[in-house]
Amino acid sequence: MSNALSRTPLHALHLELGAKMVPFAGYEMPVSYPAGILKEHRHCRESAALFDVSHMGQLRLVGDDAAAALETLVPMDVIDLGVGKQRYAFFTNSSGGILDDLMITRRGVGEGADLLLIVNAACKDADIRHLVAHIGHRCTVQPLPDRALLALQGPKAAQALARLNPSVATLTFMTGAQFVLEGAECFVTRSGYTGEDGYEISVPADRAEALARALLAQPEVQPAGLGARDTLRLEAGLCLYGHDINESTTPVEAGLTWAIQKVRRAGGARHGGYPGAATIDAQLATGASTKRVGLVGLERVPVREGAVIVDAKGRKLGAVTSGTLSPTVNEPIAMAYLAANHGIAHHEVYAEVRGKRQPMRVSPMPFTPHRYFRG
């Protein structure tokens, strides 16, 4: 293992728990624990799983102009985001491609009010430079390297976390607030990356291990690594940056137009004004020539990222961006970009796997129903 890899505040705990560690986005991260990816995945769907996501970037934007400034970089409604509300967003480039996807939460009013941003690990340095370069003169961009991030996910996450502070039960999906957990001042959102109910907990780095141990002491909670996190998010139809979305894919091609509020679209009060707006508006009006779709395999052969998708005559239609053998659906599932005229539900296509064509059917996503707690 290269010494150049960063470690999260939970590194020693991962080793103590017998984690298999792998390099990921510049960090040494647990891919799985002795139970294995399949059991970790199923435990999250049935009970509660604890993930270390401290490699993600946390930063805050501070200043009266922060929301308006951020709107010049994302196609989302940030100005009208209520206190304690969270929103999914993405940075775009001049051609409408996605530089990164992120979560925004408005915290507090008056003194100490800010926008908390959670960005992807592999993009966080570039994202900070992007923010400082473009809006650093309008608000303060403050990275938070002294904070860890834990994700507690699953249908029993709420009852486990409520033992540490019953008030966390008051949160609903995509809201957040400050709570004391194990004596530490934490910022908790009811959100996640698995399709299940759950929480993401921003905790001071020096208190992260104590909090993780307190959570793992709950009877519902088991640790889970990056392997289960990936299969869970794929079943939930959620994009992984650098795979299913990147700087060459637009939000319209990626099927993420639900995240662009009307006020920021053509005809809206604050439409445009962000990078690539003309391209995205044009695609919103007329559609994109390619689109992200779900695929379900008709035979039990896993179809992995990079597999070429062809029609019955062998003509290339697109490529798989994520794929696995789904533990919940018990079938091969994948996401791919296809020519739009082939991306119609139930349309049959073929994935080329080791020289053979595997039949697949275009499927609606998510593959497994979301179970977020909306109150």
Question: Are 44 and 150 members of one domain?
Answer: yes
313-361 residue pLDDT tens: 999 999 999 999 999 999 999 999 999 999 999 999 999 999 999 999 9
CATH of the domain at 303: 2.40.30.110
CB 27 within 8 A of CB 5: yes
pLDDT tens, position by position, 258-317? 999 999 999 999 999 999 999 999 999 999 999 999 999 999 999 999 999 999 999 999
Same domain? 152 vs 225: yes
Indicate if 165 and 40 belong to the same structural domain.
Answer: yes
- Give the tens place of pLDDT for each residue, 166-192: 999 999 999 999 999 999 999 999 999
Question: What is residue 4's predicted lDDT score, i.e. its pLDDT?
Answer: 87
Contact 36, 223 (CB under 8 A): no
**What confidence score (pLDDT) does residue 112 get?**
78
Measured CA to CA in angstroms, residue 299 lies from 290, 345, 351 at distances of: 25, 18, 11
Residue 243 lies inside a defined structural domain of this protein: no
pLDDT band of 2, cuts 50, 70, 90: very low
pLDDT of residue 3 exceeding 90: no
Which residue pairs, CB below 8 angstroms and at least 24 apart, start in 312-317? Answer: 312/348, 312/350, 314/357, 317/342, 317/349
In a shared domain, residues 177 and 318: no
Contacts 24+ apart (CB under 8 A), 178-182: 178/107, 181/211, 181/214, 182/207, 182/210, 182/211, 182/214
Residue 105 has pLDDT above 90, yes or no: yes
Checking if the pLDDT of 1 tops 60, the result is no
Question: Residue 252 has which token pair?
Answer: 């319209």
Q: Model's pTM, two decimal places? A: 0.97
What percentage of the chain's residues is helix, strand, coil (to nearest 5)? 25, 35, 45
Domain membership of residue 153 as a residue range: 11-49+146-235
Classify residue 307 as left (phi > 0), alpha (psi -120 to 50) or beta.
Answer: beta
Flag whether 188 is in a domain.
yes
Lowest mean pLDDT among 108-112, 149-153, 230-234: 108-112
Across 4-20, average pLDDT: 97
Task: Give a yes or no: residue 162 inside a domain.
Answer: yes
What average pLDDT does the segment 357-375 reach?
A: 97
22-36 core/surface letters (b: 16 or more CB in 10 A; e: else): bebbebbbbbbbebe
Q: What is the mean pLDDT of residues 76-105?
A: 98
63-84 per-position pLDDT tens digit? 999 999 999 999 999 999 999 9
Q: Specify if 315 maps to a domain.
A: yes
306 and 231 in a common domain: no
Same domain? For 231 and 152 the reply is: yes
Q: In this structure, is residue 174 part of a structural domain? A: yes
> Is residue 24 domain-shared with residue 167, that is, in the same domain?
yes
Please identify, among 235, 252, 268, the residue that sits at the C-terminal boundary of a domain. 235
Residue 252 forms part of a structural domain: no
Dihedral through CA 32, CA 34, CA 38, CA 44, nearest 10? -80
Over residues 42-57, mean pLDDT: 98
In order, the DSSP letters of 11-64 are: HHHHHHTTPEEEEETTEEEEEE-TT-HHHHHHHHHHSEEEEE-TTSEEEEEEST
What is the number of other CB atoms lying within 10 angstroms of the CB of residue 183? Answer: 11
Same structural domain, 44 and 158: yes
pLDDT reading at 108 higher than 90: no
Q: What are the phi and psi torsion angles at 31 (to 5°)?
A: -85, -30
CATH number at residue 22: 3.30.1360.120
Domain count, the chain: 2
What DSSP string describes 61-86?
A: EESTTHHHHHTTTSSS--TTPPTTBE
- Find where tokens 């891919």 sit: 31
